[in-house]
Structure 1
Amino acid sequence: MSEFSVRAVAEGEQRACLDLLSESLHGKAPTDEAWAKMAPSWPAAGKFAAFDEHGTPVGIASSIDVELTVPGGQKLATAAVDGVGVRADWTRRGILTAMMAVQLEDLAARGVPLAALHASEAVIYGRFGYGAATFCKGVSVERPRARLRDGVGRDGVVRFVTPAEAVERVPALYNRFEGTRPGFVARPVNWWPGFFDRVVTGTDGYRVAIHSGPDGDDGFVVYQTIDARDRQAPERGAILDIRDFHAATPQAWAGLWRFLLSVDLVSAVAGRGRPLDEPIAELLTDPRAVNTTEVIDDLWLRLIDVPAALRARAYGAAGPVVLEVLDQQLPDNNGRYVVGPDGVERTTAEADLRLDVATLSSLYLGHGLFGDLALSGRAEVLNESAVARADALFHTARSPWCGTFF
Structure 2
Amino acid sequence: MTVFDVRLITEEERRATFDVLNRSLHGKRVADDLWSRMGVSWPAAHKFGAFEGDAAIGIASSFDTEVAVPGGRVLPVAAVDGVGVRADRTRRGVLTALMAAQLAEVAERGLPLAMLHASEPTIYGRFGYGSAALGKTVRVSRPAARLHERVPVAGEVRLLGPEEAVKEIPAVYRRIGLHRPGMMARPEAWWPAGHERHLVPEERYTVAVHSGPDGVDGFVTYETIGRRSLDSPDEGAVLNVYDLHAAGPAALAGLWRFLLSVDLVSAVHARHRPVDEPLAVMLTDHRHASTLSVEDDLWLRLVDVEAALAARGYRAAEPVVVAVADRQLASNSGQYEVGPDGARRTSAEPDLVLEVDTLGMLYLGQWSATALAQAGRIEVRDPAALTRADELFTTVTAPWNGTHF
Aligned pair in 2 of structure 1 residues 350, 260: CA closer, same or farther (>3 Å)? same
CA–CA separation in structure 2 for the residues paired with 1:293 and 1:302:
28
- Distance 1:2-1:94 versus aligned 2 partners, 3 A rule: closer
Matched to 2:391, the amino acid is A
Query: Runs ≥4 in structure 1, deviation > 4 angstroms?
Result: none
In 2, the alpha carbon distance for the partners of 1:303 and 1:151 equals 42
The CA deviation at 1:178 is 2.7
Residue 378 of structure 2: aligned partner: 379
Structure 1 SS opposite 2:318 = coil
Match of 1:355 in 2: 354
Comparing 148-157 with 391-400, greater Cα deviation is found at 148-157
Q: Contact (CA 8 Å) 2:70, 2:364: kept in 1 or not?
A: yes
Deviation at 1:150, TM superposition (A): 2.1
Q: Aligned equivalents of 1:278 and 1:215: distance in 2?
A: 23
Q: How far 1:202 moved relative to its partner?
A: 4.5
Percent identity over paired residues: 57
Query: Are the aligned partners of 2:132 and 2:361 in contact in 1 as well (CA < 8 Å)?
Result: yes
Residue type at the aligned position of 1:46: H
Tell whether 2:363 aligns with 1:327. no
Gaps of 5+ in 2: none
Q: Is the 8 A contact 1:48 1:60 kept in 2?
A: yes
Q: Aligned-pair distance for 1:292?
A: 0.5
* 1:180, distance to aligned residue in structure 2 (A): 2.1
Residue 160 of structure 2: aligned partner: 161
1:24-75 Cα distance to aligned partner (Å, 9 max, x none) = 11100110111112211110001001000x2111000000111000001100
Deviation at 1:334, TM superposition (A): 0.5
Deviations 1:177-226 (A, max 9, x none): 13121001111111101111111225262100011111111110000111
Aligned to 1:19: 19
Deviates more, 1:261-270 or 1:197-206: 197-206
2:113 counterpart of 1:114? yes
- For 1:237, give the aligned amino acid: G
Determine if the alignment matches structure 1 residue 388 to structure 2 residue 387: yes
Conservation of the 8 A alpha-carbon contact between 2:208 and 2:220: yes
**1:298 partner SS:** strand
Q: Distance in 1 between matches of 2:359 and 2:149?
A: 44
**1:250: how far off?**
1.3
**TM-score, normalised by the number of residues in structure 2:** 0.98
The alignment partner of 2:195 has SS state of helix
Q: Distance in 2 between matches of 1:2 and 1:321?
A: 47
1:32-111 to 2 correspondences below 5 Å: 32-52=32-52, 54-111=53-110
**Other structure's SS at 2:22 match:** helix
Q: In the alignment, is the contact (CA less than 8 A) between 2:325 and 2:355 conserved in 1?
A: yes
Whether contact under 8 Å (2:165, 2:207) holds in the other structure is: yes
**Equivalent AA in structure 2 for residue 16 of structure 1:** A
Name 2:29's counterpart in structure 1: 29
Displacement of 1:151: 5.5
The equivalences for 1:339-354 within 5 A come to 339-354=338-353
**2:151 paired residue number:** 152
Shift of residue 157 of structure 1?
A: 1.0
Could you tell me the TM-score, scaled by structure 1's length?
A: 0.98
Matched to 1:208, the amino acid is V
How far the C-alpha of 1:284 sits from its partner, in A, is 1.4
> Contact 1:140 / 1:268 at 8 angstroms: preserved in 2?
yes
Matched with 1:128 is 127
Q: For 2:24 and 2:202, how far apart are their aligned partners in 1?
A: 24
- CA–CA separation in structure 2 for the residues paired with 1:403 and 1:279: 16
TM-aligned CA distance change 1:123 to 1:204, over 3 Å: farther
Between Structure 1 and Structure 2, how many residues are aligned? 405
Distance in 2, Cα, partners of 1:405 & 1:94: 28
* SS of structure 1 residue aligned to 2:220: strand
CA contact (8 A) 2:312 2:342 kept: no
Query: RMSD across aligned C-alpha pairs, in angstroms?
Result: 1.0
Find the residue that maps to 2:30 and give its secondary structure: coil
Letter in 2 for 1:266: V
